[in-house]
Structure 1
């Protein structure tokens, strides 16, 4: 695993800019995805989806694990009508809602915004059992998994199998998720206002949820990891520039060569939190609800001066 250590906000920006390995494919730059963790992978928080953290499931045959996962999702979907106005159209959307509400799934949360990942890496500094502070980390996905939207589009146009599409799909995106937050020519970082993060949500047709049709892509039948751009089931997804990684082997962590790791020195956390606040990357914007307001006030009033 490629690894870098940074000791300041500016060093993080420069490291991301200089080490993403941007390449051109079909005239477009490859999009990168970021994930911030308060604990690094070797400290017991492996890069795996939430369902993969239930180690007792490893004793089950893969078919039985998949059956249980499908049954849980079906039960969850049967209760949705009571609580939501817009029902999911397929298993991908249903799993997105389940993930958002804390149900263990084969989806992993990532973001196209490196500052959002930095926020999640530094927002709550952790300590070990002896009280020693932990460094945190931002992981950059460099394995270039295919995107669900492109796979589905090609499948509709050409009728290829899922396996053929996964191996042949282009993975380039419109941007690397970083340009809007880079250093300008003077070396100064731009400051974002509260209005710079759009928290509008999308809506779905009011239809009954349908299982994924035979022959269509299914999150339970993929043979490689797939990037899924979820519908905006919550303002949080849009505010956090969220994407999901559907893992075809959810009990296994990502391979080391799938990611680049940027270690964030714990000594820099306080300053990074202040700088992110200046950028407009703070609780109230990333969690546009009462929880976010409470977290934001907690930081501004009780934590910003080093209080805990």
Structure 2
């Protein structure tokens, strides 16, 4: 019996080729592709805020309200008045933002892709991104953006394009997940669609790899071998509780 299937080796080989071509500059994002009814949904690369609404004026007003409510009512906990700093914290606590999560860790991406994976119902995927080439294509500069200053002045620029940014690592979750972000511009489309309007060929910038049902056991084994679980991804009491609840016996 083969421990690692040929299909999983092929997947790793394709990732390695992308990484070599990108000179190691690679980000990952895992999609479980599970809808509310448990069936397959092929999600676009849209931030949560833009996934929920399709009116830019309404999105901007809602975003403003979210940030200032989080700032004022949560100040005794987060102690921050910096809008960018708050944005990263809000993202990791589930508040809708225009940030889209990425990671420099393949294991982290596979963890999120395989959550609630039912091989009979849904096909997860991982996205591969070269952030430098993305920025070169969309904003004309291949460096990661370190955004500072007034957040609302920044995002209200006319024709603001999406971009890969360099976040401040202000939480244990962000550190544990080796998180990175793209910031969605004032574009009511997913990142792939936005990129397609700028460059004709973009597989060397952004590409999707499906996780077929026949590599389910390989992915689970890979995560186990790399010591990845709910607590390593969410290094807090919530993550520990998830691990404990999955125990089937005192011997697990």
Equivalent residues in 2 for 1:1-308 (5 A)?
A: 8-20=7-19, 22-23=21-22, 29=23, 31-39=25-33, 43-54=41-52, 57-58=53-54, 60=55, 62-84=56-78, 86-89=79-82, 91-126=83-118, 132-142=120-130, 144-146=133-135, 167-171=139-143, 212-213=149-150, 218-221=154-157, 223-249=160-186, 251-255=188-192, 257=202, 259-299=206-246, 301=248
Measured in 1, the distance between the counterparts of 2:26 and 2:10 equals 19
Q: 1:39–1:45: 8 Å Cα contact kept in structure 2?
A: yes
Measured in 2, the distance between the counterparts of 1:231 and 1:238 equals 10
- Tell me the CA shift for residue 250 of structure 1: 5.3
Q: Pairwise CA RMSD of aligned residues?
A: 3.3
Measured in 1, the distance between the counterparts of 2:216 and 2:238 equals 22
Q: 1:141–1:259: 8 Å Cα contact kept in structure 2?
A: yes
Measured in 1, the distance between the counterparts of 2:225 and 2:29 equals 21
- Tell me, which stretches of 5 or more residues in structure 1 are unaligned? 1-5, 24-28, 148-165, 174-210
Superposed structure 1 runs of 4+ greater than 3 Å apart: 6-11, 211-214, 219-222, 297-302
- Tell me the CA shift for residue 15 of structure 1: 1.8
Question: How many equivalent pairs are there?
Answer: 227
Q: 1:47–1:253: 8 Å Cα contact kept in structure 2?
A: yes
Measured in 2, the distance between the counterparts of 1:275 and 1:142 equals 24
- Tell me the CA shift for residue 225 of structure 1: 1.5
TM (norm. structure 2) is: 0.75
Structure number, greater radius of gyration: 1
- Tell me, which stretches of 5 or more residues in structure 2 are unaligned? 194-201
TM (norm. structure 1) is: 0.63
Higher relative contact order (CA 8 A, sep 6+): 1
